[in-house]
Structure 1
Amino acid sequence: MTRWLTEAVPRGRVAAFRTLVYLFVAADLVVFTPWVRTRVDVPGELYQPLLIGRLLPLPTPTPTLVAAIFWTLLPLALLAATGRAPRLLGWSVFALYFEWMIIAMSYGKVDHDRIGLLVALAALPTAGRARHGDPTRTEAGGWALRVTQIAVICTYFLAAWAKLRFGGLDWATGSVLARAIIRRGTDLADLIAQVPYLLIVAQFGILAFELLSPVVFLLPERWRQTTVGFFYSFHLATIATITISFAPHLVAMTSFLPLERIRPVVWARQLITSRRDGAAPTGPAADSPAPQDQGPAPDDVPAGAPTVAGPAPAVGPATL
């Protein structure tokens, strides 16, 4: 079990995953959850902190506190994406984003698509330094990716368990997807809903998919990547039909992928270097052809020697 949990991975994969995760944190603040800054305008008695917020305990958020978290977390996440000071910046980003999520989810609605991302933020500081494109392998980085993968799969499996716990088989035979399509469905979803019993079949399929998701860890590497591709296609269909993105979950799920093969930073450096090295010279010298070796000058040719220009004839048996 220990060997499986700490299976070594290339440092380049850890670096790419780290950059992606921290860039998403910055994007989340300004694109996906900017509404957290407006939640503090409601009366404080409406704030009902999650269990972790009651145990610590954490203060009731105020506009000043939320603004301080936002303007501190945003630049720190961008700095952490560079890979510098991975422990200092990593732990700082995790603590601030964790508090940001507690504030966001303490007003009556808790999103379950952020567990994998939070685990990734907690584990990445332990992975140590990693550079893009570095092929050397690291067990610490492998552990960080593995626990993130476990959190991703637990999100699926525990979602199925919650469906069965609170809804039983009625969840699969009911009108869950129909209600979702009525609330936020797209034109594509309206077309699908017209097919008899298709939504019921889809609900059984969702349950089966979530319950069987842990099987991904038992598959060979090639089939594991194919299965993860299926996971992404499932979420693509979800976005296209009921406009639910699960964006943080999708970012955490990249922990399954060989991200070291995608090296935008290395590619950018190579492109800049190749352009610099292959640039044509400028100036007067560039307008005239390069001098050619035409043999010795006439004054230097010894008497009786042939005056044919060019390299000296090769010495071999035929010339002796």
Structure 2
Amino acid sequence: MTRWLTEAVPRGRIAAFRTLIYLFVAADLVVFTPWVRTRASVPGELYQPLLIGRLLPLPTPTPPVVEVIFWALLLAALLAATGRAPRLLGWTVCALYLEWMIIAMSYGKVDHDRFGLLIALAVLPTAGRARHGDTTRTEAGGWALRVTQIAVICTYFLAAFAKLRFGGLDWLTGSVLARAIIRRGTDLADLIAQVPYLLIVAQFGIVAFELLSPVVFLLPARWRLAMVGFFYSFHVVTIATITISFAPHLAAMTSFLPLERVRPLVWARRLAGRGPVDVDTPPAPPDQAGPGVGDEPSALGDQVPAVGRPVGP
């Protein structure tokens, strides 16, 4: 189990994931949750902090408190995205974003799509330094990605558990999706709603998909990536029908992907005519270069034996 949790991954994957997550935090502040700043104008007596907000001596949101958190978090996230001072800036972003979410969710509504992102912010500082394109492997980085993946899958599985716990079987056969379409549905959703019993079938499918989501850890690497692709397609349909994005969850779910293969700066240099610029470090020695999370055998025919343990995404 320990070997599975700490399965080594390329440092370049950690660097890419770190940049993506911290840039998303910055985007979240100005694109997805700018409304949190309006909490500063809400009367203090309406602030009902979550349990963690009651356990910690956190201040009641006021205009100065919210503005300081906003600008400090925005600056720290942009600096952390560069990979500099990964522990200092990482813990700073984690603490400030947690407080940002406590402010956001302490007025009667709690969004479960933030769980995976919060876990990613909590574990990224432990991954250490990582450089884009670095092919050497790190167990600390593998642990950070694996824990984030577990949080992502727990988001699905526990969502199904909550549906059945609070809604019972009526959630499956009721009018949950119909009400969602009435409230915020699109033209596409209106067309789907006209098909008899299709929404009921969809509700059964959603719960089945969420309950079976842990299967992703049991699949071979190629099929695992295909299942993650299905996860993303599910959210594309959700956005297209009831305009719910789950953007933080989608950002955290990139922990399953071989992000080290995405090299936008190198691609831009090539397009600019500067040739195939590559700053990759030399590969790790053979005794350190085990299969990483999501790695597959190379096109040259290398085979990676499973030896009775799951290969990480």
- Shorter chain as denominator, the TM-score bin is 0.7 to 0.9
CA positional deviation for 1:58? 1.1
Deviation at residue 267 of structure 1 after TM alignment: 3.0
**1:183 corresponds to which letter in structure 2?**
R
2:4 corresponds in structure 1 to: 4
| Corresponding residue for residue 152 of structure 1 | 152
Q: Would you say the 8 A contact 2:44–2:60 is kept in 1? A: yes
Deviation at 1:268, TM superposition (A): 3.6
C-alpha displacement of 1:269: 4.7
User: Is contact 1:79–1:89 with CA below 8 Å preserved after alignment?
Assistant: yes
Q: Residue 34 of structure 2 aligns to a residue in which SS?
A: coil
Mapped to 2, the partners of 1:2 and 1:66 lie a distance apart of 41
Match of residue 140 from structure 1? 140
Uncovered stretches (5+) of structure 2, i.e. residues with no partner:
278-313
Of structures 1 and 2, the larger Rg is shown by 1
State the 1:137 CA deviation.
0.6
Total equivalences in the alignment? 277
The CA deviation at 1:56 is: 1.0
Q: Relative contact order (alpha carbons < 8 A, sep ≥ 6): 1 or 2 greater?
A: 2
1:26 and 2:26 equivalent?
Answer: yes
**Corresponding residue for residue 186 of structure 1:** 186
Deviations 1:65-97 (A, max 9, x none): 000001111111011001111001100010000
Report the counterpart of residue 259 of structure 1 in structure 2: 259
Q: Find out whether 1:48 has 2:48 as its counterpart.
A: yes
Match of 1:218 in 2: 218
Partner of 1:238: 238
Matched residue SS, 2:41: coil
* Distance of 1:276 and 1:155 partners within structure 2: 40
Check conservation: 1:9, 1:142, Cα contact below 8 A: yes
Q: State the secondary structure of the residue aligned to 1:35.
A: helix
Measured after TM superposition, the shift of residue 42 of structure 1 is 1.3
Equivalent residues of 2:11, 2:141 under 8 A apart:
yes
Give the partner amino acid of 2:241. T
AA at the equivalent of 1:19: T
Distance in 2 of aligned mates of 1:91 and 1:232: 29
1:37 & 1:227 partners in 2: Cα distance? 37
Q: Which residue of 1 aligns with 2:167?
A: 167
Could you list the structure 1 runs, at least 4 aligned residues long, displaced by more than 2 angstroms after superposition. Answer: 265-273
Give yes or no for contact 1:132–1:265 (8 Å, CA) kept in 2: no
**Among the aligned pairs, what percent are the same residue?**
87
Q: Deviations over 1:74-124 (max 9, x none)?
A: 111011001111001100010000100000000000000000000000000
Q: Quick one: distance in 2 between partners of 1:273 and 1:90?
A: 35
Alignment match, 2:199: 199
- Whether the 8 Å contact between 2:11 and 2:134 is mirrored in structure 1 is yes
What is the TM-score when the length of structure 1 is the normalising length?
0.85
Change in Cα spacing, 1:206 to 1:74, as seen in structure 2 (3 Å) is same
CA distance in 2, matches of 1:270, 1:85: 29
* RMSD (Å), alpha carbons: 1.4
**In the TM superposition, what is the alpha-carbon distance from 1:276 to its structure 2 partner?**
12
Deviates more, 1:20-29 or 1:261-270: 261-270
Q: CA deviation at 1:57?
A: 2.4
**Within 1, Cα distance between the matches of 2:53 and 2:276?**
54
Alignment partners' CA distance in 2, 1:192 and 1:273: 48
| Aligned counterpart, 1:99 | 99
Q: How far apart are residue 271 of structure 1 and its match?
A: 5.3
What SS does the corresponding residue of 2:129 show, helix, strand or coil?
coil
Secondary structure of 1:210's counterpart equals helix
